Each structure stands twice: as structure tokens, then as C-alpha cells.
Amino acid sequence: MTSRREFIAGLAAASVAAGAGAAFAQSAKPSHHGVIDTHHHFWAPEYKKLSMEWDDAHHSRHAPTLVSWTPEVTLAEMDKGGVKTAVLSLASIRDGFWGLDPQAATKMVRICQDYAAKLMSDHPGRFGLLAPLNMLDVDLCLKEAEYALDQLHADGIGVQSSYNNRYPGDPYYKPLWEELNRRKAVVYFHGPVPGCCGGLKVGPGVNPAVEEVTFDMTRAAVSLLANGCLARYRDIKWFFSYGGGTVPMLASRINAFFKNAKDIHEIAPNGVFAELARLHYDTVNVTDAPSWAALTKLVKPTQIVYGTDFPYFANDQLDNIDKRGLSAHDKALILSGNAKRLMPRLARI
């Protein structure tokens, strides 16, 4: 039998545990509310299977985050961080579109679009969509963009910074950019591990995603600049992951090489810095002081939009943003206001 002393000690321990639990529950409440995460990944079951099959065929380890992802995991992380709405997009794609031909890639795109639309329907107000396109066949892309924007009411288009070493400024994409410019659409760029450099090994255990996805984001931005797309398609809302990759740090070098070009007034009518400064950039991996300084010297707070890159990264960068000395107004713009301006449907849900 339990002695009286043991019984009283047990009660005391239970009381302490209950108090600790209450304190934890209180501390676990999110310190931010109404946040919009514009860089948040999802996997339709068929797409997850395709990704894992590509890994197996290339003797690549499955990312634990991919294997364990479910809508419930996403919703739990959103609630933990005070995220009201996550705007869904595909994660990095290898080998063009996992080695598929344009028709098969388009079929997978439609599966992903419809899966995301169902998440939006099943969880009202919790999700948005930057709809994927195959980017291998421009005519198929036009049809899928029409379906995504008109039928699914996607909030924009989400593509990779390159496909099989073809960058977005390539004239091949002219019909697509013309249509999306007509629609005043958001075009969001996410970084793959590019075909040119994905096999490079800079050190033991260094994933090429450490540097190559950000370098490829820079290549995409320079491609759009050099080919006159930024100047020509003024109504597209261009939007770049990872704070634009290395664009803020390399802005002076980009300007130095372009400012005396013969066609500078055609590709950058107000100058290179002005073109780069009117783009939009998310906060993924740029909220520490050095990267934040570079980004915020290039652009105003109106051009910065919160994103996590979940499930690879979570909402801990919200604490970093709190440390950056922003006014309440500017912080509100970054955490939700700018996203609502770029994607007005988000302001209505």
C-alpha cells in the first residue's frame, strides 16, 4: 500500500507537473496572429510517389520532410506559428520535371492543382495556391494557367527558376508572359537544384541546395532583366524566393555590367536598381542581420513578403523578424499586408 507520505509527495509532484503543463500551454500560444506564409509546400500523393521514385532511381535519400508531410502536419505548424493562411506551391523539382515528357508533366501538374484546390475547399481560409505549370511546353502551360486561374481561382502561378537550363527570360516563354501580363498575375519563382550544377560537390555533406537554389534564383532574375521581360511585362507581379537569392548582394555588380549596355533604356528604362527594387522577395533564410541588411538596402518593406519554405524550415524566423527593428506598420506589411495586396483573394478569406 502507498504510505501517507508517498501519497502526499505524489500529490505535490502532480501539482507541479500540472502547473508546468499550464505554463507550457500558455507559452505555446503563438505570439503572432493572422500571418500569411507565401512559401509553403505540399505534395499530392501521386506527386510524392513520383518524387520518391526519382530519388530511388538516382540513389538519392528521401527527404524525411517529404516522407512525413501531410495536410495535418502543415495545419499544426501553421497554428503553432500563428499563420492564418499558407499559400501552397511545389517544392524543388529535379531533372526538368522529374524526367517526364511535357504531356506526362502536364498530367501531374493537373493532379497537383486539383489536390491543392481540394485542400482549399476542405479548409476554408487556410490555404492559397501558386499553381504549378510544366514549363516544358508553352502551349500546354497556357492551357494549365487558364484552368488554374479561371476554374480553381488560384492566387498566382508558381514555377521554378529554370527547367533543363532554360531560364525564364528565354523568348520561348514569350506567349506565356504575354498572357500572364494581360491577367496582371503573380508569377512566383522557386529554386530547383539546377541541371548545370546540381552534381557539384563543394565539401563533405554539403547539399547543393545550400548554394545552388539561391544562385539559380539570381540567374532567373538576371535572365528576365537581360531579355527585357521586366520592362516589357510591367503588369506581372514578379516574386522571388529566398530574398531573391544573391540578387541583393550582387545588385551593384549586375548594375555595373548592364548600365552601359546599348539597350539599357529598353531593358531597364529607369535603371537596373529601379528594376530590381520593384520586384517582390520572400523572407526565407534572409531574416538574420547580414542578409536582412542587404535585402532592405535594395527594396522597401512594401516589396518583402513572409515565407517559411515549410516543411524544410518553420516559423522560427518570425522571432528574427521581431529583432530587425521594424515599425509595427512595416512588420504588418511583411507578415500579411503585402501578400494581401499581391493576391487580393487572401484579404477576403
Residue 233 lies in a domain: yes
237-240 and 156-160 strand pairing: unpaired
Coil/strand/helix, residue 238: strand
In the chain, the amino acid numbered 47 is Y
Residue 342 lies in a domain: yes
Residue 283 lies in a domain: yes
* Confidence band of 241 (pLDDT split at 50, 70, 90): very high
Residue 177: phi and psi, rounded to 5, are: -65, -35
Sign of CA dihedral 185, 172, 222, 141: positive
Look over the chain and give the mean of its residue pLDDT values, rounded to a whole number: 90
* CA-based nearest residue to 176, from 151, 145, 222, 148: 145
* CA-based nearest residue to 51, from 37, 67, 68: 67
* 258 contacts 276 by C-beta, under 8 angstroms: no
Each residue's pLDDT tens digit, 142-201: 999 999 999 999 999 999 999 988 999 999 999 999 999 999 999 999 998 776 776 666
pLDDT at residue 2 greater than cutoff 50: no
Largest distance between two CA atoms of the chain: 94
Residue 47 lies in a domain: yes
Residue 234 lies in a domain: yes
Each residue's pLDDT tens digit, 7-51: 344 434 434 333 433 333 344 577 899 999 999 999 999 999 998
* Confidence band of 4 (pLDDT split at 50, 70, 90): very low
Each residue's pLDDT tens digit, 102-156: 999 999 999 999 999 999 999 999 999 999 999 999 999 999 999 999 999 999 9
Residue found by looking up cell 515549410 in the block: 310
Task: Return the pLDDT at 200.
Answer: 64
Q: Rounded to whole angstroms, how far apart are CA atoms 281 and 243?
A: 5
The residue with greater pLDDT, 294 or 96, is 294
How many structural domains comprise the chain? 1
Quote the domain boundaries for residue 204.
Answer: 32-348
Residue 21 lies in a domain: no
83-89 and 127-132 strand pairing: parallel
Residue 275 lies in a domain: yes
The edge-to-edge listing of strands for the beta sheet with 280-282 is 35-41, 83-89, 127-132, 156-160, 186-190, 237-240, 280-282, 304-305
CATH number where 116 lies: 3.20.20.140
Helix axes 174-182, 138-146, angle to 10 degrees: 20
Coil/strand/helix, residue 71: helix
Each residue's pLDDT tens digit, 320-346: 999 999 999 999 999 999 999 999 999
Task: Return the pLDDT at 13.
Answer: 40
pLDDT above 70 coverage of the chain, percent = 90
Half-sphere exposure (CA, 13 Å, Cβ side) for 239? 30
Task: Return the pLDDT at 28.
Answer: 59
Residue 321 lies in a domain: yes
Each residue's pLDDT tens digit, 199-238: 666 777 677 777 888 999 999 999 999 999 999 999 999 9
pLDDT at residue 296 greater than cutoff 50: yes
Half-sphere exposure (CA, 13 Å, Cβ side) for 96? 13
Q: In the beta sheet, which residues pair with residue 188?
A: 158, 239
Task: Return the pLDDT at 12.
Answer: 42
